[in-house]
Amino acid sequence: MQGNKWYKLQPFLEEVARRNLEGYASLGGPFSNHLIALAYAAFEQKKKAVFLIRGGREEWIQNPAIQQMSDWGVQLIPINRTDYRLLHSGEIDWKSFVSGFSSYCFVPLGGSSPNSILSVAGWAEAISKAIEIETVVLPVASAGTISGFAVGLDSNKNILGIEVLKSNGGMSIESDRLISESGQVHSSRTIWNADYHFGGYARHTEELKSFCRQVSKDEIFPIEPIYSGKAFFAVSDLARKGYFHEGSRILLVHTGGIFPWNSALNG
């Protein structure tokens, strides 16, 4: 399981094992890194999974991520965009779309939940103790990881959140909600940047793809244009524009998302 998903999903995996639940239910888009991670976890645990996928089946039936989840035994149910928004906002319950799944654990979009805050915060605290840094840079899509870091980092650390989708200020509100409902408080300062979403989640340009290609070639790790690559591009562009002071110690967190279908977009 890649990157931040280990920490975000850990409480749900433990709950299913502790209560011996039958499986997992969740929702997301057809390229969701969260759903891929959860599908693999269910496969490894020998548990069932049912996912509500945004859009009509004809839109994603040939999608390689969808095919991989199907191969792991996930039941995939299409849901229109209006119902998807209502489901994500909590205005309607996921059980209204499926039946017979009362013994399933529901995992919210992106795995971002108040239950995950302490798990992610522990990761952030370990980073704080291990290396000397001033600013942590994170890509943000559902606000779970950045919320955990806001709780777990030392108070003298800054967080720069690079929004990879168009939220119109929604990510900041969602982060405050997650932290409040977890019973925790902010310990570090969070700065939000919405200038590098490239049109929205999973949207990208030739400039971004070229940048990801070059970084993947020059470094010992790959990046992709769906998620983390946008944060890498942002740091490079902001540094070029003088955003960071000379000698700044910056930690850019690569949160995963390296799958053949994402990396292929660099081509």
Length of the chain, in residues = 267
d(CA 176, CA 89): 15
pLDDT at position 266, please? 63
| Three-state secondary structure call for residue 117 | helix
What 8-state DSSP symbol labels residue 2? Answer: -
Each residue's pLDDT tens digit, 24-53 = 999 998 888 899 999 999 999 999 999 999
CA–CA distance, 39 with 27 (Å, rounded to integer): 11
Span 128-145, average pLDDT: 93
> Residue 265's pLDDT is what?
61
227 with 255: CB under 8 angstroms? Answer: yes
Q: How far apart are CA 57 and CA 198, in angstroms?
A: 26
CA dist list (Å): 21 to 1, 12, 104, 123:
21, 11, 6, 27
pLDDT tens-digit map of 84-136: 888 877 888 888 887 777 799 999 988 899 999 999 999 999 998 899 999 99
Which of the listed CATH numbers 3.40.50.2000, 3.40.250.10, 3.90.228.20, 3.40.50.1100 matches domain 5-111? 3.40.50.1100
CATH topology classification for 114-266: Rossmann fold (3.40.50)
Write down the pLDDT at residue 22: 95
* 155 conformational bin, left if phi > 0, alpha if psi -120 to 50, beta if neither: alpha
Least confident of 73-77, 96-100, 247-251: 96-100
Q: Confidence band (pLDDT; 50, 70, 90) for 208?
A: very high
- Cβ-contact 14, 68 below 8 angstroms: no
Q: To which residue do tokens 């030739």 refer?
A: 206
Q: Same topology for domains 5-111 and 114-266, yes or no?
A: yes
The token pair that represents 183 in the structure block? 């019973």
CA distances from 145 to 4, 52, 69, 81 (A): 7, 22, 23, 25
What phi and psi, each to the nearest 5 degrees, are found at residue 129? -80, -25
Q: What is the SS3 assignment for 233?
A: helix
262 pLDDT tier (thresholds 50, 70, 90):
low
Alpha carbons 163 and 169: distance in angstroms, whole number: 10
- The reported pTM is 0.90
- Domain locations along the chain: 5-111, 114-266
> What is the per-residue pLDDT for 1?
45
* Average of per-residue pLDDT values in the chain: 90
Quote the pLDDT of residue 121. Answer: 95
Least confident of 14-18, 104-108, 168-172: 168-172
